[in-house]
Structure 1
Amino acid sequence: MVGGDRNGLVDALRGWSLFGILIANLLIFQYGIFGKDEISFFRISSLDYGGYEAIKVLIENSFMPIFTFLFGYSLILMRNRLREKKRRIKWHLFRRFIILISFGVLHSIFLWEGDILLLYGVMGMLLLFFVNRKRKTILVWCVVLFSIITLISFVGGEEEVFISEEKIDVYLKDTIEIYGSGSYEMIKHHRNNVDPMEMSEGEAFFVVLFMPFLILPMMLLGMYAAHVGWLHGNRVKLFQYISIICLPVGLLLKASLYLSKEIHWLPDMSLIGGSVLAIGYIGLFSYFYSRSNGHLFQGFENLGKLSLTNYILQTVVCTSVFYGYGFGLFGRMGVLLSIFFGIGLFTLQVVGSTFFLKSFRQGPLEKVMRMVVYLENPFLSRKKRQLKDEMKVS
């Protein structure tokens, strides 16, 4: 990428990843952060259960890694732009991660428990140690961390259960009643103060310690990919090979979540499978994008340019639909119908983003982000900002 020009493929991938994230998150919006993994409690139909398994294998934990990959990729692109403008790289990135953390805290406290912005902001702070490292160093760390996840998948088996079945049943009954018919304040109190897991300090420490091993590898892979320009230029053959190899391998590894229950000696490799499948999805999407020169993916690009605003907007719309202070459809819509609902909402976001960008350059939250990162005067015109930057460079 030269200067301030945007990479259309990166924006389109970001928009597409938001579609998968929305479909996966609809399980949380409709059944809760704990209920989505206790789906039998809701006694859904066989058709809905088929849709539920499809989301688990094809989408959940496979679209978020795409977003994670792009987080690392965009970090290097931003670093390059800051370097061209001779600005202090780490201070600008530090402010970016601070505002992400702030958005995440507000999002999780006042709107929804499934927030990812807080985690990404915290992980971004950790990436500051890698932002000026050589690409070989980044690749080594990426391979090492992926290897650790693979080893844990072999050794760890099923996830350790921190909560009794009796407690989760009581919690889910309360959640259904409060989320389905409660007021905003009741839902907010339940979300922020009721935790059925009741982990010990040691268990909580292990979860916090383990989190970077899950997130960092894809971020580092994205950073390495930006260094070598994977998403720049026409790399149809590369994308073709990536999708041909990673898609079937990733699907097989994700399916091991169910196969391991039938074949006891087979390890559950779905943890690493989600990342492998995500890489396959990146290759497949990039292949078709490159073949069409991006002409068929403008809607995804437009939505991806407003990814932060659209992500929060998805929360506002979905909580209004499923929670008691809105339409109160918590646990009632069903999985299959929620998929169609997600497709409809995403389509409206694509159309809305396209029309919005005809009049504005940035979304409202993207504007706030830029003001904080670059310490810009919001009343300063674009031409004056460009002239100010040119004077700094010269």
Structure 2
Amino acid sequence: MVGGERNGLVDALRGWSLFGILIANLLIFQYGIFGKDEISFFQLSSLDYGGYVAIKMLIENSFMPIFTFLFGYSLILMSNRLKEKNRRVKWHLFRRFLVLIAFGVLHATFLWEGDILLLYGAMGMLLLFFTNRKRKTILVWCVVLFSIITLISFIGGEEEALISEDNIDVYLKDTMTIYGSGSYEMIKNHRNDVDPMEMSGGEAFIVVLFMPILILPMMLLGMYGAHVGWLQVSRQKLFQYIASSCVPIGLFLKASFYLSKEIIWLPDMSLIGGSVLSIGYIGLFSYLYSNSRHGQVFYGFESLGKLSLTNYILQTVVCTSVFYGYGFGLFGRMGVLLSILFGVGLFTLQVVGSVFFLKRFRQGPLEKVMRTVVYLENPFQSRKKRQLKDEMKVS
């Protein structure tokens, strides 16, 4: 990126990743955070089950890592911009992550259990230790953490059920009733106060401790990628190589979840497969973008990516209104295939809406709040005055 010019590919990738995140999240919106992995409870038709497997194979855990990669990539781009303006990098980033945590707490408490903002804000605090590190150091940490995930996949063996069958059946029956026809307050209380896992303090601590190992590698890879300038439209050969190698390898590794049940000696490598497939998707999308970036579709992805925070929360508002009892009450009733079509329709409306919105405004409402807190700006000050103020600081 040159000066203050935005990287259109980064914005477009962020917008595209929100499509996959929406399709994957529709399993949670319709079946709940625990129900999506206990899908037999809902007795899907063969067609819906096929759609469910397709989401698990092609989308779930393979689009969120794209967003995670871009989180790290954008952190370096933002750091560079702050350095150019002689601003304190870590303090600005700290405030940014603090706002993400605040949004995440509000989102998870009052709207939906599938929030990622709180986790990303917390992970961002850890990334502050890497902002001034050499790119070689970042790469070493990235490789070490990916190696740990791969090792866990190899030696993991049979997973113990975190929830007993009796507990999960009772919980899912209650969830179907409350989410499908309950009031907002009933759903909020069920989401925040009922825990079918009944974990002890020690078990919860281990889960929290394990989270950075799963999330940080792709963030660090994004930081390293920004240092070496991976996401530049001129790198078509790199994109082509990444796509042609990582997409098939990632699909095979994700398929190992199902194949390992038939082939005894084959380990379940789906954990690392999601990240490999996401890297392949980044290469594939970047290659297509570099060949036709001026097309209307990619322009729409860019527009949506610039408003990613607002669009992410908007997806929650719309989907909870459709599936929860205080809205249309379609929880567990729409089916997987129809939910995919619904997701495509909602995403298309968001793309069109983002394009029209940015013709009138520079930022989305939540992006405006973020910028106001991060840069300690007057939200009513004109852009020209802010630029003049920045120039005076630099001089």
TM-score (ref. length: structure 2): 0.99
8 Å contact from structure 1 (residues 8, 294) kept in 2 = no
- Note the C-alpha offset of 1:161: 1.5
d(CA) in 2 for partners of 1:273 and 1:370?
35
1:299-335 superposed Cα distances (whole Å, 9 cap, x missing partner): 0000000000000000000000000000000000000
In structure 1, the residue matched to 2:144 is: 144
Secondary structure of 1:74's partner? helix
Q: Percent identity?
A: 86
d(CA) in 2 for partners of 1:75 and 1:250?
26
In structure 1, the residue matched to 2:358 is: 357
What amino acid is the match of 2:375? Answer: Y
In structure 2, the residue matched to 1:52 is: 52
What amino acid is the match of 2:220? Answer: L
- Note the C-alpha offset of 1:160: 2.9
What amino acid is the match of 2:237? Answer: K
8 Å contact from structure 2 (residues 289, 298) kept in 1 = yes
d(CA) in 2 for partners of 1:40 and 1:27?
13
Secondary structure of 2:360's partner? coil
- Note the C-alpha offset of 1:383: 0.4
- Note the C-alpha offset of 1:266: 1.1
d(CA) in 2 for partners of 1:83 and 1:313?
33
Q: Give the alignment of 1:189-268 within 5 angstroms.
A: 189-268=189-268
In structure 1, the residue matched to 2:310 is: 309
In structure 1, the residue matched to 2:129 is: 129
- Note the C-alpha offset of 1:25: 0.1
- Note the C-alpha offset of 1:3: 1.9
Q: Does residue 168 of structure 1 match 2:173?
A: no
d(CA) in 1 for partners of 2:232 and 2:50?
38
Q: Give the alignment of 1:91-130 within 5 angstroms.
A: 91-130=91-130
8 Å contact from structure 1 (residues 180, 328) kept in 2 = yes
Segment of structure 1 superposing worse, 53-62 or 158-167: 158-167
8 Å contact from structure 1 (residues 9, 294) kept in 2 = no
In structure 1, the residue matched to 2:347 is: 346
- Note the C-alpha offset of 1:7: 0.5
What amino acid is the match of 1:221? Answer: L
d(CA) in 2 for partners of 1:72 and 1:159?
31
What amino acid is the match of 1:283? Answer: G
8 Å contact from structure 2 (residues 61, 275) kept in 1 = yes
8 Å contact from structure 2 (residues 293, 299) kept in 1 = no
Secondary structure of 1:325's partner? coil
Could you tell me which runs of 5 or more consecutive residues in structure 1 were left unpaired when the two chains were aligned: none
d(CA) in 1 for partners of 2:132 and 2:283?
27
8 Å contact from structure 1 (residues 123, 216) kept in 2 = yes
TM-score (ref. length: structure 1): 0.99
Q: 1:125 and 1:44, CA in 2 relative to 1: closer, same or farther beyond 3 A? A: same
- Note the C-alpha offset of 1:162: 1.5
Secondary structure of 1:328's partner? coil
d(CA) in 1 for partners of 2:215 and 2:379?
34
8 Å contact from structure 2 (residues 18, 308) kept in 1 = yes
- Note the C-alpha offset of 1:234: 1.0
1:334-353 superposed Cα distances (whole Å, 9 cap, x missing partner): 00000000000000000000
Q: How many pairs were matched up?
A: 394
Moved >3 Å (runs of 4+): none
d(CA) in 1 for partners of 2:375 and 2:351?
28
Could you tell me which runs of 5 or more consecutive residues in structure 2 were left unpaired when the two chains were aligned: none
8 Å contact from structure 1 (residues 225, 231) kept in 2 = yes
8 Å contact from structure 2 (residues 233, 286) kept in 1 = no
Q: Give the alignment of 1:70-89 within 5 angstroms.
A: 70-89=70-89
- Note the C-alpha offset of 1:232: 1.9
- Note the C-alpha offset of 1:229: 0.3
d(CA) in 2 for partners of 1:161 and 1:95?
39
d(CA) in 1 for partners of 2:267 and 2:366?
43
1:166-217 superposed Cα distances (whole Å, 9 cap, x missing partner): 1000000000000000000000000000000001222211111110010000
d(CA) in 2 for partners of 1:329 and 1:183?
14
d(CA) in 2 for partners of 1:158 and 1:305?
42
Tell me how large the CA RMSD over aligned residues is: 0.7
In structure 1, the residue matched to 2:33 is: 33
